[in-house]
Amino acid sequence: MSFQAPKGTFDWLPPRSERILAVREALAAPLRGAGYGYIETPVFEDTQLFARGVGESTDIVSKEMYTFPDKAGRSLTLRPEGTASVVRAVLQHNLHAGQLPVKMWYSGSQFRYERAQKGRYRHFWQVGAEALGSEDPALDAELILLGARGFASLGLENVTLLLNSLGDKACRPAYRAALQEFLRGLDLDADTRARVEINPLRVLDDKRPEVQAQLTGAPLVVDHLCAACEAYHEEVRSLLAASGVAFDDDPRLVRGLDYYTRTTFEFVHGGLGSQSAVGGGGRYDGLSEMLDGPPLPGVGWALGVDRTFLAMEAEGLLDDHARSRVQVYGVPLGEEARRRMFLIVNELRAAGVSADMAFGGKGLKGAMKGADRSGAGFALILGERDLAAEAVQVKNLTDAEQTEVPLAKVVDVLKGKVQ
């Protein structure tokens, strides 16, 4: 049996893979324009970083992490999310000793052992952003705005922003106690009852219909916010409204990670079925201390590249036509022509013109088929007679018009044609 990609993973192949690169670029572009610097962290980390940073009660830590011992017996985990790694890097390299907030963005693979389905993969790609060292509602609003701008730049129209506040250490305990009291009266399985005692907010995030049906009368965190959290949340809302960003208040919104405080948000798309979230994030003011660092308030988000691509597909924003791989395609006929074409193609590339050529000694018919498949606008046909005349035939593949161009001038001529 031939090898296949592991369950829950897939290969990105041309031409779709070219589009996924463009999606990553579009989601990252607003961050670059707002002073966020690129950070790349290891794809595996000390398991305890995620156990403590993401939270023992989360599904991610309890069920979904790819954890393994290395040859020295250390427990390592493939990163299931990006924030804990970024905070670890900021603390390790003392970046918080400089200008605050520390603004970072990243783009890379994450790994979770999830139930594989469309939009939920075991290896997936995110673009993420974190701003550390400042407790300012304007920073929360800025990040949300930059995420919304990324989606809008791709032409997406059906992305909805959901917004909530989870309170802070001053008001969360009273809400937590009220929620626990409510949840203890429900008919829940043993695992969920255990979660009620560890982190009851996570029960609100349970997607099972039999659990959701019992949560209709659950107390809402917005009814338990202290005055400071209420004012903070109101400022985030008013900054978003003043910036023209539409949002829906969702008092039941919680996120699947333990570190969130105050501002919590999610971007959802109507065309994706049950896996509707295309991104989300929030404020995590206690995470640095959980990782043995100093108090370092932070806010961030992660946007799903795969999910964003599916959302674009659902809105009909991806055409089926193969995008042009190159602008010029060389068709050499004979050994001497092949050697000369090899040099011409490399000259074209050096001059900024994307070019390819037929390999393997194909005849005219086979080579022209390759030219059509490449999506090139022009074919260069070089045979023995052309070599003798120190010329090459330039064929416009759109209108089939063919002209003879001296070999010495072909690079300049084509530069003029493809620009």
Q: Which of 168, 169, 83 is nearest to 132 (CA)?
A: 83
Rounded-to-integer distance, Cα 112 and Cα 77, Å: 10
Q: Please check if 202 is assigned to a binding site.
A: no
Strands 261-269 and 159-165: antiparallel
Structure tokens that stand for 49 in this block: 């970083």
Hey, is 352 helix, strand or coil?
coil
Task: Tell whether 195 is in a known binding site.
Answer: no
Q: Is 41 annotated as a binding residue?
A: no
CA dist 116 and 57 (Å) reads 21
- Under 8 Å CB-to-CB from 244, ≥6 apart: which residues? none
CA distance 249 to 195: 26
Q: How many Cβ atoms are within 10 Å of 166's Cβ, its own excluded?
A: 23
Instruction: Please name the residue that has the structure tokens 């970072």.
Output: 104
Is 193 annotated in a binding site? The answer is no
- For residue 261, say whether it is annotated as part of any ligand binding site: no
Strands (E), 216-288: 248-249, 261-269, 277-283
DSSP reduced 3-state for 189? coil
Instruction: List, in order, residues 6 or more apart from 87 with CB less than 8 Å away.
Output: 53, 130, 132, 287, 288, 291, 293, 296, 298
For residue 157, give the 3-state DSSP assignment. coil
How far is 97 from 126, CA to CA, in rounded Å? 28
Annotation-wise, does 210 bind a ligand? no
> What residues have CB less than 8 Å from 222, skipping those under 6 apart?
164, 165, 249, 251
Question: Tokens for 342?
Answer: 């090899």
Order across the sheet with 75-78: list the strands.
Answer: 44-46, 75-78, 67-69
112 is in an annotated binding site: yes
In the chain, what is the straight-line distance between the N-terminal and C-terminal CA atoms, in Å?
48
Is 77 assigned to a binding site? no
Indicate the residue type of 157. E
Question: What are the residues whose beta carbons fall under 8 Å from the beta carbon of 100, sequence distance 6 or more?
Answer: 132, 133, 134
Instruction: Tell me whether residue 313 is annotated as binding.
Output: no
The widest CA-to-CA distance across the chain, in whole angstroms, is 92
Binding site feature residues for L-histidine: 81-83, 112, 126, 130, 255, 259-260
Binding site feature residues: 81-83, 112, 126, 130, 255, 259-260
